[in-house]
Amino acid sequence: HTFNLVLCNFMNKCSSATYSLQVKNGTSPDVTIYGPQSTSMYVWQALELTAGLNNQDSTENDYVSWSIKLNGASVSGAVSQSIDQYMYKLNAYTLKVGNQYTVQVNVVDTASRKTSSYSVSVYVAASVIVGQISGGSTQFIRAGGQLLVDVSGSSDQDLRRS
For 67-90, write each residue's pLDDT tens digit.
999 999 999 889 999 999 999 999
Question: Computed from CA positions of residues 83, 85, 87, 90, in that sequence, does the dihedral angle turn out positive or negative?
Answer: positive
Cβ count near 122 (within 10 Å): 19
- Which distant-in-sequence residues (6+ apart) come within 8 Å of 149 by Cβ? 133, 139
Task: Give 117's DSSP letter.
Answer: E
pLDDT tens readout for residues 136-156: 778 888 888 888 888 888 888
Cα 20 off chain centre by: 22
Positions of the chain with pLDDT under 50: none
Report pTM: 0.71
- Give pLDDT, residue 84: 92
